[in-house]
Structure 1
Amino acid sequence: MLIQWFPGHMTKTKRMIEDHLKAVDVVAELLDARIPQSSANPMVEELVKGKPRIVILNKADLADPRETDLWISYYKKKGISVVPMTVGNGKNKKKLLSLIRETAEPILSRWRKRGLKNRSVRLMILGIPNVGKSSLINFLAGKASTRTANTPGHTRGKQWVRLSDGLDLLDTPGVLWPKFDDQTAALRLAATGAIAGDVFNPDEVVPVLLSSLAETAPQVLKDVYGIDDVNRDPQLLLEDAGRRRGCLLPGGAIDYDRAEMAVLRDFRNGKLGCITLDPLPKEEP
């Protein structure tokens, strides 16, 4: 089954982003630190068209910190400002706000020369659904300024949020691209919860997740699910995980549906530890 997901409202969102880019100073692209490449929308670079841009690696507390450091270096080499983020972490908040102001300073300097000395920094936040945009804005604002939900596509309309420290933030609905050319990326998006559960088959997503864990974090499978030999068919790894989680049918057979959902919940909730699924892109020769 190929995962394809481009609800009609996302076409409207793309037009809305294009319409409002002129009103913002800085664009922040919010990525999932566990899957920086898979959660990066290829449309963003085309949409921002040279607008000052920063990358926020959100949910950094769920990602492997060593891998996050490598991704930070990767973006910096490309000349893109980047900051890891965990909603609730005050130090992360200060670093992000400082980076936003630093990035916007050349624009604000031009406004000051025109006599607008108290103009706020205007920031647009872009990202795929369920990457944590609304939760981040709530955290930056210090109050529940926007609705939040764990259902992809929850935020539907334009929402400006005024911050007390001179920042105006524009939240937009999440945007995914119309076709997933890389199905591995699509499956990783599904694993993290960025794609709604009714458009993917856990039978395909969970084996890919388990295979990735067997390669990148084999000790996790041993510690959490008691799997001694991770170099086996993912279906056998699922059986071991299901047995450890008590996902059994009458008579002791594995309840595969429950086992798949248990593995997904464990990964999404951080019970498997700090995991990064996306390796750095291979350097071009």
Structure 2
Amino acid sequence: MAINWFPGHMVKTKRQIKENLKLVDAVIEIRDARIPYSSANPDVEELCKGKPRLILLNKSDLTDSRVTKDWIRHLSKEDVRAIEVNCLKGEGIKNIKPILMELLKEKHDRLKSKGLVKIITRVMVVGIPNVGKSTFINRMAKNNIAKTGDRPGVTKSKQWIKTSIGIELMDTPGILWPKFEDEEVALSLAFTGAIKDEIMDIEELALKLVDRLQTLHPELLKARYKIEELSEEPLETLNSIARKRGAIVSGGEIDYNRIAVIILDEFRGGKIGKISLEEPKKTSLEESENISLEESENISLEEPK
């Protein structure tokens, strides 16, 4: 399944991140807790080396909590911490400042030893589109300073946002990367809405999602759509779901566009169940960092013509 998307503003954003890192003390990277591996932009991993980093696994209310906790253990190391949050409801947000202070303790101790009393912590917020960056910033600022939307690419330019807890946030637009390591990464991003539906074949995308779900979470799929048995063929399962939901046109034919929209919306809204599409034991962020993006040939993200 070909997925092609690399808007020009994302090239500019990558340059902005590199240029502005010297202005901040730390980086907050927001990922989608359903796909912590696929929603980790390897360009950001490389660009932010040397800066303390806090990874927020957002939308954790939609995930299998056991898997999310495994990811937290997997991602946390000396200069990186990971926590689960729900930016929409504010869950886990109170843990952000203490962890940032822990990561920056050595730097703050040096500043205090030089007589500096009031220390403002400046943090850059990064992440791919549609992971909840604007929702997080609005929660921290307690108002709607950052634009929000249910479509990727809503945030357009850098902003500085002050908060009531002594932290200033630098917002940046969400960026994807020019090439993916493999098709599974691209599909995970498309399933969760990080790639615009407008450029996708959503009927094929929904079929791929059904295939993934009946492999990873067959019981949830059966329970949601009241199907006794799943077919070995994802298309037959999709047809069964369509019939159960009445996605039928005249003559008894399946309305594939309608059922595709239903399945994607219900997955993204958590109605099928608490689903984690990736587990740390099945993927390796460390391995992905060693793969040259130029050598990745499966899927190329380019500006659509």
- Give TM-score, length-normalised by structure 1: 0.94
Post-superposition Cα deviations, 1:131-151, rounded to whole Å, max 9, x if no partner, equal 000001111121112110111
Give the equivalent residue in structure 2 for 1:29: 29
Q: Which amino acid aligns with 1:35?
A: I
Give the equivalent residue in structure 2 for 1:262: 262
Q: Secondary structure at the match of 1:56?
A: strand
Give the equivalent residue in structure 1 for 2:193: 193
Q: Which amino acid aligns with 1:119?
A: I
Equivalent residue runs for 1:15-54 within 5 Å: 15-54=15-54
Does 1:69 find its partner at 2:69? Answer: yes
Q: Is the CA contact (8 Å cut-off) linking 1:3 and 1:180 kept in structure 2?
A: no
Q: Which amino acid aligns with 1:264?
A: L
Where relative contact order (Cα < 8 A, 6+ residues apart) is larger, the structure is 2
Give the equivalent residue in structure 2 for 1:213: 213
Give the equivalent residue in structure 2 for 1:10: 10
- Give TM-score, length-normalised by structure 2: 0.88
Measured in 2, the distance between the counterparts of 1:189 and 1:283 equals 15
Q: Is the CA contact (8 Å cut-off) linking 2:10 and 2:176 kept in structure 1?
A: yes
Change (3 A) 1:244 1:209: same
Q: Secondary structure at the match of 1:177?
A: coil
Equivalent residue runs for 1:162-173 within 5 Å: 162-173=162-173
Measured in 1, the distance between the counterparts of 2:196 and 2:283 equals 33
Equivalent residue runs for 1:32-111 within 5 Å: 32-76=32-76, 80-111=80-111
Q: Which amino acid aligns with 1:181?
A: E
Q: CA deviation at 1:90?
A: 4.6
Q: CA deviation at 1:97?
A: 2.4
Q: Is the CA contact (8 Å cut-off) linking 2:85 and 2:91 kept in structure 1?
A: no
Give the equivalent residue in structure 1 for 2:149: 149
Give the equivalent residue in structure 1 for 2:294: none
Q: CA deviation at 1:209?
A: 1.2
Post-superposition Cα deviations, 1:59-107, rounded to whole Å, max 9, x if no partner, equal 0001111110111111136763110000244551111222122222222
Give the equivalent residue in structure 2 for 1:135: 135
Q: Secondary structure at the match of 1:86?
A: coil
Q: Which amino acid aligns with 1:107?
A: K
Give the equivalent residue in structure 2 for 1:249: 249
Measured in 1, the distance between the counterparts of 2:202 and 2:166 equals 44
Does 1:202 find its partner at 2:170? Answer: no
Measured in 2, the distance between the counterparts of 1:78 and 1:234 equals 43
Q: Is the CA contact (8 Å cut-off) linking 2:126 and 2:172 kept in structure 1?
A: yes
Measured in 1, the distance between the counterparts of 2:173 and 2:77 equals 29
Q: CA RMSD in A?
A: 1.8
Measured in 2, the distance between the counterparts of 1:82 and 1:275 equals 19
Change (3 A) 1:93 1:47: same
Measured in 1, the distance between the counterparts of 2:218 and 2:60 equals 20
Change (3 A) 1:201 1:281: farther
Give the equivalent residue in structure 2 for 1:239: 239
Q: Is the CA contact (8 Å cut-off) linking 1:155 and 1:173 kept in structure 2?
A: yes
Which is further off, 188-197 or 234-243?
A: 234-243
Q: Which amino acid aligns with 2:39?
A: S
Q: Which amino acid aligns with 1:230?
A: L
Give the fraction of aligned pairs with identical amino acids, expressed as a percent. Answer: 44
Measured in 1, the distance between the counterparts of 2:70 and 2:79 equals 15
Equivalent pairs, count = 285
Q: CA deviation at 1:30?
A: 0.7
Q: Which amino acid aligns with 1:166?
A: G
Post-superposition Cα deviations, 1:135-181, rounded to whole Å, max 9, x if no partner, equal 01111121112110111111010011100110101110001000123
Which is further off, 40-49 or 94-103?
A: 94-103
Q: Which amino acid aligns with 1:185?
A: V
Measured in 2, the distance between the counterparts of 1:198 and 1:251 equals 28
Change (3 A) 1:52 1:77: closer
Q: CA deviation at 1:39?
A: 0.5
Q: Is the CA contact (8 Å cut-off) linking 2:242 and 2:254 kept in structure 1?
A: yes
Q: Is the CA contact (8 Å cut-off) linking 2:156 and 2:172 kept in structure 1?
A: yes
